Amino acid sequence: MTIQKNDNKYIYVIVGQNIRRIRKERKLTQLQLAEMIQYSEGTIANIENSSFQTFSLEFLYILAKKLNISMSEFFNGINLPIVNNSTDSNSSKH
């Protein structure tokens, strides 16, 4: 499925891709990140894989605080094409 920029879900895809990028830059697994912010690994996987329909600003705020980054980092590349990253070698099978 391709998400267009005019689709309401576009922002969630961009943010999910940035969370994945930042997590990998920090050499964290989805489980480690989930434990750090006290959310489930499944939540992180769903957000990164664009399976999550919505998440809160509070979630992004908590994540930014724990990673010691600006919330604006999650919105980098807002005008770039979406890359399909539907699999993650760091995620565990359920």
**CATH number of the domain encompassing residue 54:** 1.10.260.40
Closest CA to 67 of 25, 10, 17: 25
User: How far, in Å, are 13, 18, 21, 37, 82 from residue 77 at the CA level?
Assistant: 11, 8, 12, 24, 9
Q: Domain range for residue 20?
A: 10-73
Residue 88 pLDDT: 47
pLDDT tens for each residue of the chain, 94 residues long: 566 777 778 889 999 999 999 999 999 999 999 999 999 999 999 999 988 778 999 999 999 999 999 999 999 987 766 556 554 444 443 3
Q: Is 80 inside any structural domain?
A: no
Residue 54 pLDDT: 85
Q: CB count, 10 Å around CB of 19?
A: 22
- Cβ(36)–Cβ(63) below 8 Å: no
Q: Is 88 inside any structural domain?
A: no
> How many domains is the chain partitioned into structurally?
1
Q: How far apart are the C-alpha atoms of 70 and 82, rounded to whole Å?
A: 22
Q: Is 55 inside any structural domain?
A: yes
Q: Is 5 inside any structural domain?
A: no
